[in-house]
Structure 1
Amino acid sequence: MNCSNTNLLLSTCLKLESGFRYKLLGNWHKHHKSDFRYFNECTSTYTRLFHSSYTLGQAQKDGITVLPSPQEVTIILRKNEFNKEFTSGSVKSYDSNQLASNDPIEDTRSEAQCKMTPGLLLGVFDGHGGPACAQVLSKRLLNYVAASLLPLDILRKYVHENPRENLIETYNDRVEIIEDLKLVYENSFKQYLIELIDLPRDGVDVRSSLEQAILKLDNDLSREVVEPYKVTGDIDPKTLSVALSGAVACVSHIDGPHLYVANVGDCNAVLGTMNEDNAWIAKKITKEHNSENFDELKRIWNEHPESERKTVIRRDRLLGELAPLRSMGDFRYKWPVELLKNIAVPMVGQNAIPPNYRTPPYLTAKPDIYYHRLTPKDKFLIIASDGLWDMMTPLQSVKLVGEHMKGKVFFNPLKLPRKNIQLGDINELLLHRKESLKSKPKDRNAATHLIRHAIGGTEYGVDHSRLAHLLSLSPDVSRMFRDDMTVTVVYFDSEFLRQCPA
């Protein structure tokens, strides 16, 4: 993009309130080859301006752009929100929501209860190069994890007696896989179950089960393209599109006080904890696999010859192209050159082979696994794609959810704390409730609350004008200001955790 094109793009901009700091975000920012310092130089005089092309939620009246009203903004924000409550275990409930910037959205999420073993699974997947890989992960990965967690005797019984029974109970499952791919995926999963039976192991370990499931599914994404090609010479464009697109993943397994988080890429999980002084603490559980993680840079440098030191990481990206330094899919950075020439190049062109591609693989799907033993002071867990973390810090997000917890009680009718309460005590209760109503949040769903503040938040609260403008941008422009956002907030039962043995 040159300066003249940038100026043309921004020539129909509207002025935004001073103090607004926009970021070049989204798929275009994260994965495009361009040098974004150059783009910033071109637009340095326009940092308070942005495009206001006509989109859904925006209207023209007498030549003046009319932004969506507060009610219309709320409808947009709440479109994908979901809540699930539980009656037992350490998780009381969770809230989730998604807001697209790309069209179609490249983020996905999935949540499920293991049916044959204890534990709740929750995953957030941030796709790039299209939504295909992230959508497939959301449908398949939790099944692979649930299978890996089965003790050997239960696994054998399951495979021999009832292999069609679902291993997980999913919630809010909105993604549908096309029929011909379903058969491919079912066959891969059956093969994985057989491999698990033959795998030597001593009991079940959640940490190794998470890693094994992620690596196995990533391997299957490749095999489902390569094996048919080797047998028949045919290339299925559907399985190839999944393999060449990619996604980062953050998956948690919660069983009583035991919290495990597996992370591949740059999503994050943050724990909201209350200290002795009733102040909120943000415990960032995960570490991003990107160029800001020096351990990741050293790992990649050490895996390739010294002669590639200047090319393996360029402009803070893998081979100058990919921002996350670990991901699932993305076999453009994993397959041998000859395989790329035979499979990828005929379908997508010579650009299928990245520049300076000399000693593959350059990319791994191996996750980092984190463990935390929950205590009564741990109140909630936030799992989110980097669309949220680009806009706010872990501590800001934890404080917002903490304030939301306090305020959302006022969505429920007033309940007297005991029978035979005196009128004076009732009056005190009502006065306190009236004062506290000032902190009542606009949204019942905490994930929506976070997204609203991420987009429209200022130091003085949420600014409707900013929020309405950013929600009204067309997708091609929106990606320059914000990324897709997917947020899941998991609430813990403090009383349950208090009763768990140390």
Structure 2
Amino acid sequence: PTQASIRDLRGLGLTPDLIACRCEKTGLDEGIQSKISMFCHVQPNQVLAVRDCSSVYHVPELLKDQGLVDFLWKRLNIEQTINITEPLKLKGRDMWNKWNQLTSAQERLHDTVTIVLVGKYTNLQDSYASVVKALEHASLNCRKKLIMKWVEASDLEPETRSANPVKYHEAWQDLCSAQGILVPGGFGNRGVEGKIAAAKWAREQKVPYLGICLGLQIAVIEFARNVCGMADANSIELDENTNTPVVVYMPEISKTHLGGTMRLGARPTEFQAGTENSTIRKLYGGGSTVLERHRHRYEINPELIDGSHPGRLWGSSEPLGIFHLTAQAAVSSSSKDADLNQQKALDPSDSSTDQLPARESAHLGVASQAQCHFGSRLSTRLLPGTQQQQHEAQATIARPKRTQDVVPPTPGGPLHSSAPSAASPSVSRITPITKHRQPQRGDRHGHLSHDQPHRHQAPPGSNHWPAPPRRTPALFFLFGGLLTAGAFGYFGSSNKSSHDPVTWTDLWVQLQNELSKARAELTQNSFTQTSSSAPSPFADPSARSFSPNPADSPLSHSRFEKQLKMLTPDQVEQRLAQNERSFRVLTKEQEARKDKERQDLILGYCINQVASNNPIEDDLSRHVVRGKDGSIEKIFFGIFDGHGGWCCSQKVAQELAPTVATELEQVKDTHDVMAVMEAIENGFLKLDDKIVNETVQKVLEFPSRPLACSSLLPAISGSCALLAYVDTKEKDLYVACTGDSRAVLGVCEPSATDKGGHSWKAVPLSFDQTGRNRWEVRRLQEEHPGEENTVVMRGRVLGGLEPTRAFGDARYKWSKEVQERVFQLFPTYRQPHRNYFTPPYVTAKPVVKHHKIRAEDRFLVMATDGLWDKLTSDEVIQLVGDLLDGKTGQEKMVLDRDELKSIKEKVKAIKGVITGKKEDQNEEEEELTPANLPPKGPASQIRQFTFKDPSNASTHLVRNALGGGDDDKLAATLSIPSPMSRVYRDDITITVIFFGHQDTKIALSNAQDSDGFVEI
């Protein structure tokens, strides 16, 4: 068919330049490609294989790997027709690098966000292509995997329930699983009631809602009907004869003389004074005026907002708008509640505010949630109060020259069953709002608190949720007593009465049940349901909640009733394999090159990541610099362990290797090892200076809270960095370490006991730079004289930060003056340490080691401290070596830390006599813990290693670090969710690189032919 099609095209005078062949995942066979080339009279490089990809973002990489860019460059004669300057080339490379980073990050996403789109054209999903692409890009930027669910709006309506109950319940089940609901634009009345039902469910369940065009009208109609009591509220677009139009035509726009495109042009829209902290204003960039392009001719009825209508339904003594006035409507049905609120307004400091009726509290929560619904043509004004209250007030957009003085509400109007004073409603209804919001279970957007890796907190400028009330010490004492008694009673009785062996899983599960019972007894008075008989959730599906977080579900009594479920064996395997990947550096195209020996320096590598934090704070990178002939000249592998969030580790992963490569270009003699090491150090320091100092200078020069939020996060958080640089021409390996990640070389040596056999030796190429390292402590004490007793406390810098070298961590680098100025823009930024006198206390300067790659050097293991907290360097090298030797099954090993320490001391003493080095000159120790600090890990334990992952050495190491051959322990360790999992394990990121001429068929059996590098 291909040959016949090309023949017909040639008969029409059309000669193809490229032939794109659709195929399966395996691509085109060389024989088929040659056949198509021969019979269609084109060159082989003009036949492209367009195979299936996991994402459309991989298609440009697929085409580039097949030489499409080079072909187009020559075919279009671009070099002769366009003057491409060096800056333009650099810009192009930068764009391509960003694209590769985007696709690489997309493959490693594991946290999901579920968005439900409620529309009337869901059977034709291309109708919403622009909306879906916007959501995809937003989810990538937030490091989330997007799950889209499509719900036909009419399926949510009661008519469908009687006509097709299955479809009705399926639609509601999909809706109730949403973490966010989007109602896009549309025309006509079909499905409108279903969209209104979806908006109502989102408001009541406090699920984020975004309405676009018609979706905004739906939110206004729903709010007016169900909160403000306007049962017949509607939009003129949907019903021109409605008696209560809440959405009307814009009076300044003609209904008939503007054509059919509906693009009515950009219109200036101004923000009112006092809206500097508005969320909507920040989304528009923070300016005072923006240009909005209105596709339609409708707006929210201004008469219902500012109170100028004779039969006004909303009004206030201040131009507060619909949000706060909704709170008035919510509490107006009871004169007692209204009087109580009036009392709170007159005395906001009255402690009895905390005892407002539950119904009022719920309605006020609804009023605050309404801010998610409305984003246009409404106005709010900040009330006098605390800074926290001012941050919570959400200001929105109002058109210029349309604002009017608002008439105070008339006593006895539709919103007032009683007659409070004219000045009190605005204050009395807004004051309690901040006191009755329920704290969320963590922060869903993924930002973590800085310098405190395990505590969630909201970013600057967002709503600050009040802290939950502190329980009394007696409650903690009672809980501890019940827990201790239950544990002793359980274990004592089980050991005495049971004749069968109790598995680790049974003990763990039963202990969790005991904990749940004890917690339920302590909290039953506070969290017991008031109603005796709860309605069936299937009676009204809209009342159900399928929230992934049980604490967010209305059917859950409290966060203490969470049950931890053990992962099944299949789920364990899926979790371990979720982020594993392996690559061959020597592809088929490279085998044909002349310099084959140089290409064989690195055969391939494998990677894996297992998260403990959510999202994971670790990151990794692999970059390459190619010569003019396409051969590999420089390779960079990076491992980055973030703390206080992922912002810094992500930025360093993206920019460190290109920065170091730029510095290496300045080295004239690559044989000069010291010059190369100095260039690597300069690259580290320049990037850290850019992150920490250049950014804050721009922020302080142009103070802006949105700019501070987006720019300072990498500086305030921090990251360790481990970079391996391989010079393929000189066969040099440089390892630069900043922090406590570690690189260990696996060396294959002839066995001294087994003739013809071999043994595996671990050669450390970095050492942990923490407050446990006595050489690092000595360095800090020398750099900060007079602070010897405070510069390192409890093994941490100033008692807070464990690594002594790191990127970011501006809290340990900025001066006090700079930190105080940043605190004004960044209210959540922590104050400087008490003993903060002579900054900087932390540096990003790496310790660089050089190693000439030899034939016996077989592999390099690079990993964050999450691995080294569980396994020693010797164990890691032996595990990978045994895997390469084809070992299978399981083996047990007894680890005695004290015995190992004594053996190492003897070996070190003998080595010192032979080499002549002093004891303090040896930096190859693994554990450098001072005498006054406890060592990491248990003193002794029985290890049970297993060999189940021959195709990926990184997964093999992760499995043995978290449980090994003990399947129950492995499943239990992986079952603990974040942030509780940080007590038991850290994020683990591993890269294993294979060197030289060796048999790696087992370790790279599932490797991709692509090398996976990002080109610099």
TM-score by length of 1: 0.69
For 1:216, the equivalent position in structure 2 comes to 686
Matched, 1:238 2:710: yes
Residues in 2 aligned to 1:10 and 1:370: alpha-carbon distance in whole angstroms? 51
For 1:303, the equivalent position in structure 2 comes to 783
For 2:652, the equivalent position in structure 1 comes to 137
Are residues 365 and 203 of structure 1, via their aligned partners in 2, closer, same or farther at CA, if it must alter by over 3 Å?
A: closer
Shift of the alpha carbon at 1:330? 0.4
| One-letter code aligned to 1:492 | F
Residues in 1 aligned to 2:623 and 2:584: alpha-carbon distance in whole angstroms? 12
Matched, 1:262 2:736: yes
Residues in 2 aligned to 1:111 and 1:4: alpha-carbon distance in whole angstroms? 52
Residues in 2 aligned to 1:409 and 1:454: alpha-carbon distance in whole angstroms? 17
Residues in 1 aligned to 2:676 and 2:667: alpha-carbon distance in whole angstroms? 14
In terms of fraction of residues, the more strand-rich structure is 1
8 A Cα contact 2:719 2:808, kept in partner? yes
For 1:107, the equivalent position in structure 2 comes to 618
Residues in 1 aligned to 2:824 and 2:479: alpha-carbon distance in whole angstroms? 32
Residues in 2 aligned to 1:284 and 1:252: alpha-carbon distance in whole angstroms? 13
Are residues 243 and 484 of structure 1, via their aligned partners in 2, closer, same or farther at CA, if it must alter by over 3 Å?
A: same
Q: Unaligned regions of 5+ residues in structure 1, if any? A: 21-45, 57-62, 154-201, 411-438, 497-502
Residues in 1 aligned to 2:478 and 2:875: alpha-carbon distance in whole angstroms? 36
Matches within 5 A, 1:28-43: none
For 1:285, the equivalent position in structure 2 comes to 765
SS in 2 for 1:383: strand
For 1:454, the equivalent position in structure 2 comes to 961
| One-letter code aligned to 2:761 | I
Matches within 5 A, 1:297-446: 297-306=777-786, 308-344=787-823, 346-349=825-828, 351-407=830-886, 441-446=948-953
8 A Cα contact 2:857 2:996, kept in partner? no
8 A Cα contact 1:345 1:352, kept in partner? no
| One-letter code aligned to 1:389 | W
Match of 1:477 among 980, 996, 999: 980
Shift of the alpha carbon at 1:9? 12
8 A Cα contact 1:408 1:444, kept in partner? no
Residues in 2 aligned to 1:134 and 1:478: alpha-carbon distance in whole angstroms? 20
Shift of the alpha carbon at 1:407? 2.3
8 A Cα contact 1:10 1:50, kept in partner? no
Residues in 2 aligned to 1:6 and 1:138: alpha-carbon distance in whole angstroms? 45
Matched, 1:248 2:248: no
8 A Cα contact 1:10 1:49, kept in partner? no
For 1:205, the equivalent position in structure 2 comes to 675
| One-letter code aligned to 1:283 | V
Residues in 1 aligned to 2:563 and 2:830: alpha-carbon distance in whole angstroms? 43
8 A Cα contact 1:345 1:351, kept in partner? no
Residues in 1 aligned to 2:477 and 2:778: alpha-carbon distance in whole angstroms? 39
For 1:79, the equivalent position in structure 2 comes to 578
TM-score by length of 2: 0.35
Match of 1:226 among 696, 710, 713: 696
Shift of the alpha carbon at 1:115? 2.6
Are residues 445 and 495 of structure 1, via their aligned partners in 2, closer, same or farther at CA, if it must alter by over 3 Å?
A: closer
Residues in 2 aligned to 1:381 and 1:369: alpha-carbon distance in whole angstroms? 16
SS in 1 for 2:613: coil
| One-letter code aligned to 2:952 | N
Shift of the alpha carbon at 1:236? 2.2
8 A Cα contact 1:90 1:255, kept in partner? no
8 A Cα contact 1:86 1:92, kept in partner? yes
| One-letter code aligned to 1:446 | A
Matches within 5 A, 1:7-156: 7=480, 67-87=566-586, 88-116=599-627, 118-151=633-666
Is 441-450 or 203-212 further displaced after alignment?
A: 203-212
- Runs of at least 4 residues off by over 4 Å: 1-15, 17-20, 48-56, 63-66
Is 443-452 or 113-122 further displaced after alignment?
A: 113-122
Residues in 1 aligned to 2:695 and 2:987: alpha-carbon distance in whole angstroms? 28
Residues in 2 aligned to 1:262 and 1:240: alpha-carbon distance in whole angstroms? 25
Is 98-107 or 351-360 further displaced after alignment?
A: 351-360
Query: What do the CA deviations read for 1:28-87 (whole angstroms, capped 9, x no partner)?
Result: xxxxxxxxxxxxxxxxxx9x978999999xxxxxx9975222222111001111111112
8 A Cα contact 1:97 1:486, kept in partner? yes
Residues in 2 aligned to 1:225 and 1:128: alpha-carbon distance in whole angstroms? 19
Matches within 5 A, 1:152-231: 205-231=675-701
8 A Cα contact 1:55 1:474, kept in partner? no
| One-letter code aligned to 1:465 | D
Are residues 7 and 369 of structure 1, via their aligned partners in 2, closer, same or farther at CA, if it must alter by over 3 Å?
A: farther
Let me know the Cα RMSD of the aligned residues: 3.6
Shift of the alpha carbon at 1:314? 1.1
Residues in 2 aligned to 1:292 and 1:204: alpha-carbon distance in whole angstroms? 28
Higher relative contact order (CA 8 A, sep 6+): 1
Matched, 1:275 2:730: no
Residues in 1 aligned to 2:604 and 2:477: alpha-carbon distance in whole angstroms? 51
Shift of the alpha carbon at 1:440? 6.1
Are residues 482 and 323 of structure 1, via their aligned partners in 2, closer, same or farther at CA, if it must alter by over 3 Å?
A: same
Shift of the alpha carbon at 1:102? 0.4
Shift of the alpha carbon at 1:146? 1.6
SS in 2 for 1:479: helix
For 1:171, the equivalent position in structure 2 comes to none
Shift of the alpha carbon at 1:208? 1.7
Residues in 2 aligned to 1:97 and 1:49: alpha-carbon distance in whole angstroms? 32
Residues in 1 aligned to 2:950 and 2:673: alpha-carbon distance in whole angstroms? 44
Query: What do the CA deviations read for 1:415-442 (whole angstroms, capped 9, x no partner)?
Result: xxxxxxxxxxxxxxxxxxxxxxxx9633
Are residues 273 and 208 of structure 1, via their aligned partners in 2, closer, same or farther at CA, if it must alter by over 3 Å?
A: same
Are residues 203 and 366 of structure 1, via their aligned partners in 2, closer, same or farther at CA, if it must alter by over 3 Å?
A: closer
Matches within 5 A, 1:487-502: 487-494=990-997
Residues in 2 aligned to 1:283 and 1:408: alpha-carbon distance in whole angstroms? 22
8 A Cα contact 2:823 2:830, kept in partner? no
Residues in 1 aligned to 2:796 and 2:839: alpha-carbon distance in whole angstroms? 16
Are residues 275 and 19 of structure 1, via their aligned partners in 2, closer, same or farther at CA, if it must alter by over 3 Å?
A: farther
Residues in 2 aligned to 1:476 and 1:144: alpha-carbon distance in whole angstroms? 34
Query: What do the CA deviations read for 1:191-226 (whole angstroms, capped 9, x no partner)?
Result: xxxxxxxxxxx9993312211111000000023422
8 A Cα contact 1:151 1:203, kept in partner? no
Are residues 5 and 347 of structure 1, via their aligned partners in 2, closer, same or farther at CA, if it must alter by over 3 Å?
A: farther
Residues in 2 aligned to 1:79 and 1:55: alpha-carbon distance in whole angstroms? 20
Are residues 298 and 152 of structure 1, via their aligned partners in 2, closer, same or farther at CA, if it must alter by over 3 Å?
A: closer
For 1:188, the equivalent position in structure 2 comes to none
Shift of the alpha carbon at 1:110? 0.5
Are residues 65 and 242 of structure 1, via their aligned partners in 2, closer, same or farther at CA, if it must alter by over 3 Å?
A: closer
Shift of the alpha carbon at 1:396? 0.5
Query: What do the CA deviations read for 1:132-187 (whole angstroms, capped 9, x no partner)?
Result: 0001111111111121122579xxxxxxxxxxxxxxxxxxxxxxxxxxxxxxxxxx
Residues in 2 aligned to 1:392 and 1:491: alpha-carbon distance in whole angstroms? 20
SS in 1 for 2:845: coil
| One-letter code aligned to 2:677 | R
Residues in 1 aligned to 2:967 and 2:657: alpha-carbon distance in whole angstroms? 38
| One-letter code aligned to 1:82 | R
Query: What do the CA deviations read for 1:333-374 (whole angstroms, capped 9, x no partner)?
Result: 001110011014541447331221111111111000001111
Residues in 2 aligned to 1:493 and 1:472: alpha-carbon distance in whole angstroms? 39
